[in-house]
Amino acid sequence: MAIDPDYLTSRQFPTITETYNEKDCMLYALGVGMGQDPLDRNCLPFVYEKSLKVMPSQPVVMAHPGFWAAERDIDLDWVQLLQTEQELIIHQPFPSAGTVEATTRLTEVIDKGERIGALIKSERTIRNVESGADLCTVRTTVLARGDGGFGGERKPTPKTDPIPSREPDKVCDLPTLPQQALIYRLTGDLNPLHSDPEVAASAGFKAPILHGLCTMGVMTHALLKLCADYEPERFRHLRLRFSAPVYPGETIRTEVWQDGKEYRFRCKSVEQDKIVINNGYLLID
């Protein structure tokens, strides 16, 4: 059954209110690989409640509507779903505990043809319930590989942030754990593509793949190290494209090019010798 783009963009999502604490922040940081070296004084503040710091990528899991693509009225082939883009506009740093709320809306559905699929864009702005202040706007694009060809208007792919042709200014290699996806899923993304070998095989993968947002979290660690001296409050704007999946246990290499307070970046799987995140942009204070 073909998806209905008008229905999706008008669909009402409930407002999600979430109370989180220091334990949730530490679990997220562990889920993206922080703390592998428990003696690293730069990483320890993200996984230890003494002067706890919040990862700037953690908003991706806050006040999240859940695995909405599997809901019956949406009727997507969710096994074929892949995230392709992520953007964070950080208005204020997140406190290490509090109550937040957000309402997700689907902003655009783009038909890329039956062979490619459909791009579905969503947005939510996370607010601090107590103060009413906006903390972060989260924009996400997913590719529904099994749901293209519904006859929607074809649109050109928007321009991306180019990667400079010169050698990178900075490079950071960070390993992932074989059980990384099993830890990360405890932050809320229970898609069995990342835990069930049979589901992964049905989607064409040799094993469960790492969540794209977990790869993004590992990348964020690298950007904290290379660009911000492990000071998460300096992050202002982050956007990127996912280009290939990572398997748990692989090493992620982040390459960075600096232009003042702006950075371009990309990530590779060292073992696959393949770019897994591309066209990255970071603005810091």
Mean pLDDT on 129-142: 96
The domain locations on the chain are: 5-284
pLDDT value, residue 243: 95
Q: Higher confidence at residue 115 or residue 36?
A: 36
Mean pLDDT on 194-203: 94
Beta strands 98-103; 118-128: pairing state = antiparallel
Statement: residue 192 has pLDDT above 80 = yes
pLDDT value, residue 153: 66
Q: Which of 189, 229, 273, 285 is catalytic?
A: 189
Active site residue 189: yes
pLDDT in tens, 208-240: 999 999 999 999 999 999 999 999 999 999 999
* CA 38 from centroid of its chain's CA atoms: 25
Statement: residue 102 has pLDDT above 70 = yes
Q: Which of 24, 111, 194, 221 is catalytic?
A: 194
- Confidence band for 280, pLDDT divided at 50, 70 and 90: very high
Q: Are 3 and 112 in contact (CB under 8 A)?
A: no
pLDDT value, residue 5: 86
Mean pLDDT on 145-171: 82
User: Cα(184)–Cα(194) distance, rounded to whole angstroms?
Assistant: 9
Structure tokens at 244: 């290939």
Mean pLDDT on 38-65: 96
Q: Which conformational region is residue 151 in: left (phi greater than 0), alpha (psi within -120 to 50 degrees), or beta? A: left
Active site residue 194: yes
Q: Does domain 5-284 have CATH number 3.40.50.450?
A: no
Statement: residue 154 has pLDDT above 70 = no
Amino acid found at 175: P
Percent of the chain with pLDDT over 70: 97
- In sequence order, what E strands does the chain have? 15-20, 81-90, 98-103, 105-111, 118-128, 134-144, 170-175, 235-242, 251-259, 262-269, 274-284
- Confidence band for 1, pLDDT divided at 50, 70 and 90: low
Mean pLDDT on 109-137: 93
Mean pLDDT for the chain overall: 93
pLDDT value, residue 7: 87
pLDDT in tens, 54-75: 999 999 999 998 888 878 888 7
CA distances from 154 to 10, 109, 149, 150, 157 (A): 20, 10, 10, 11, 9
Percent of the chain with pLDDT over 90: 78
Mean pLDDT on 78-95: 91
Picking from 33, 116, 101, 83, the residue whose alpha carbon sits closest to that of residue 244 is: 83
Statement: residue 157 has pLDDT above 70 = no
User: Cα(68)–Cα(11) distance, rounded to whole angstroms?
Assistant: 11
